[in-house]
């Protein structure tokens, strides 16, 4: 193996190239990224960075010098426009061609946008995906401004928390019956609804956006229940779509993302994929895991497999979200749950929700409860399922469950 080319200089791409070197790969490595800044972490873009509590250079996953020190050619501000799988060549937007022996696609995902027909292209309508998005919206987070957030998933709720903290009057609409419906149990939705309401966010569930209005810039919104709002800005948090454009044009198999096998390889033996753009089989279903933990772990397995190891990627899903003073930590995947056990802690707001399918523990949502998060995570990763009654019983010594 002489030349590994990685397209997409985000969390997965940066993890992949670092792992190649730390595992002793001594061939050439090229990491190509469409953005002009070194690979950085996205989670703070809707949390501490948006709030102004974190400087830009603290977002960077590694100091810029790391890549030169490791003899990794980092091509920033450069997009790959084509992949030729026969000649094993990628073509950059500058028309430069680079040949590869192994290619990794770590192209991430794109935020879904509102159609132009309902005001999606008005000025001051933002999505939250990259540094430019966060920098563009941050100046609008000022006391007395009026914002509409469309979508009650984690990104929308985090943006709502930052805006409310900055004194913005926030309305959040969620088309589904409840916020977090796609990803969490009603108990978790209830927890976060109450948290946001306590901070003055006006959450409207079962209500969609009919249209954003304004002449050039957004100044208002019409909701599906007939309500109208006056606005200074809007944030769209309605999910993401994996970036599969290159994979598709290269003829690689797509299936709910760029389809990878257990090794992270695509349908082309020389092309691998990892992170948000890649789909994988988990418990018999082809899914995508849109999280930092997955981007790192999958990319590191791919790096080792490119070097000829034969490792299966077994995801250990985990996720977090920060809203106001609440840290939510999630272990496992709740897909297919049929019951939820609520365990309250001693202090106000300390709580964990345990998802079961029958008697099998699938996942835990822990709110300001790192101890139960760790216990849940270890149990799930060990494939162990404590009795539901024990979880529900406040007298249970939770740590003892790890030894049982």
Name the residues that contact ligand FAD, by CB under 6 A.
7-13, 32-35, 42-43, 45-46, 79-80, 106-108, 128-129, 155, 243, 246, 275-277, 290-293, 295, 319-321
For ligand FAD, give the closer residue by CB, 32 or 74: 32
For ligand FAD, give the closer residue by CB, 210 or 327: 327
Nearest approach, Cβ of residue 23 and ligand FAD (Å)? 19
For ligand FAD, give the closer residue by CB, 5 or 362: 5
For ligand FAD, give the closer residue by CB, 81 or 388: 81
Nearest approach, Cβ of residue 82 and ligand FAD (Å)? 9
For ligand FAD, give the closer residue by CB, 108 or 264: 108
Nearest approach, Cβ of residue 76 and ligand FAD (Å)? 9
Q: Is 287 helix (H, G, I), strand (E, B) or coil?
A: strand
Alpha-carbon separation of residue 255 from 74, 247, 261, 312 (angstroms): 30, 11, 11, 19
Reported as type and span, the H/E element at residue 90 is: strand 89-92
Tokens (6 digits) for 345: 């802690």
CA 104 to chain centre: 19
Q: Is 123 helix (H, G, I), strand (E, B) or coil?
A: strand
CB-based contact 166:251 (threshold 8 Å): no
The residue of the chain with the least Cβ separation from ligand FAD equals: 10
Nearest approach, Cβ of residue 320 and ligand FAD (Å)? 5
105 has which bridge partners? Answer: 7, 273
The owner of tokens 């935020």 is 111
C-alpha dihedral over 119, 123, 127, 131, to 10 degrees? 160
Nearest approach, Cβ of residue 157 and ligand FAD (Å)? 11
- Residue 345 backbone class (left: φ over 0; alpha: ψ -120 to 50; beta: rest): beta
Nearest approach, Cβ of residue 338 and ligand FAD (Å)? 26
Nearest approach, Cβ of residue 284 and ligand FAD (Å)? 23
Alpha-carbon separation of residue 17 from 21, 77, 90, 119, 279 (angstroms): 7, 18, 17, 40, 20
* Rounded Cα–Cα distance for residues 186 and 166 (Å): 28
- β-bridge pairing 360-367 and 326-332: antiparallel
Nearest approach, Cβ of residue 147 and ligand FAD (Å)? 16
Kindly write down the DSSP assignment for every residue of 236-249, as one continuous string. Answer: E---EEE--HHHHH
Nearest approach, Cβ of residue 24 and ligand FAD (Å)? 23
Kindly write down the DSSP assignment for every residue of 339-368, as one continuous string. Answer: EEEEEE-SSTT-EEEEEEETTEEEEEEEES
For ligand FAD, give the closer residue by CB, 276 or 401: 276
Residues 6+ apart with CB under 8 A from 139: none
For ligand FAD, give the closer residue by CB, 257 or 386: 257
For ligand FAD, give the closer residue by CB, 275 or 332: 275
For ligand FAD, give the closer residue by CB, 292 or 302: 292
Nearest approach, Cβ of residue 389 and ligand FAD (Å)? 32
Tokens (6 digits) for 29: 């490595």
For ligand FAD, give the closer residue by CB, 43 or 332: 43
């Amino acid at each position: 193996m002489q030349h590994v080319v990685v397209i997409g200089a985000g969390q997965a791409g940066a993890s992949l190239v670092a792992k190649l070197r730390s595992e002793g790969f001594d061939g050439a490595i090229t990491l190509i990224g469409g953005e002009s800044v070194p690979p950085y972490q996205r989670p703070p873009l809707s949390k501490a960075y948006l709030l102004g509590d974190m400087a830009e250079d603290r977002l960077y996953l590694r100091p810029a010098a790391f890549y030169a020190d490791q003899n990794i050619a980092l091509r920033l501000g450069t997009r790959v426009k084509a992949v030729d799988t026969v000649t094993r060549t990628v073509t950059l937007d500058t028309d430069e061609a680079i040949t590869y022996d192994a290619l990794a696609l770590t192209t991430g995902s794109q935020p879904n946008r509102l159609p132009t027909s309902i005001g999606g292209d008005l000025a001051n309508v933002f999505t939250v995906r990259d540094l430019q998005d966060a920098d563009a919206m941050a100046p609008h987070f000022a006391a007395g401004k009026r914002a509409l957030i469309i979508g009650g998933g984690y990104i929308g709720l985090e943006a709502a928390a930052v805006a409310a903290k900055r004194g913005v009057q926030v309305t959040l609409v969620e088309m589904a019956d409840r916020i977090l419906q796609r990803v969490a149990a009603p108990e978790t939705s209830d927890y976060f609804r109450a948290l946001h309401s306590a901070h003055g966010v006006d959450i409207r569930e079962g209500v969609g956006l009919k249209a954003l209005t304004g002449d050039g810039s957004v100044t208002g919104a019409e909701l599906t229940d007939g309500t109208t709002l006056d606005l200074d800005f809007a944030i769209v948090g309605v999910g993401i779509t994996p970036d599969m454009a290159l994979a598709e044009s290269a003829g690689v198999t797509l299936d709910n993302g760029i389809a990878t096998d257990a090794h992270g390889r695509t349908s082309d033996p020389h092309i691998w994929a990892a992170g948000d753009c890649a789909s994988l089989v988990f418990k018999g279903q082809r899914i995508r895991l849109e999280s930092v933990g997955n981007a790192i772990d999958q990319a590191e397995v791919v790096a080792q497999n490119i070097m000829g190891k034969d490792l299966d990627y077994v995801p250990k899903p985990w996720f977090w979200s920060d809203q106001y003073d609440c840290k939510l930590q999630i272990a496992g995947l709740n897909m297919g749950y049929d019951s939820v056990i609520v365990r309250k802690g001693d202090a106000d707001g300390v709580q964990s929700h345990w998802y079961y399918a029958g008697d099998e523990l699938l996942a835990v949502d822990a709110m300001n409860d790192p101890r139960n998060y760790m216990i849940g995570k270890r149990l799930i990763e060990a494939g162990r399922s404590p009795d539901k009654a024990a979880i529900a019983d406040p007298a249970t010594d939770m740590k003892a469950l790890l030894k049982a």
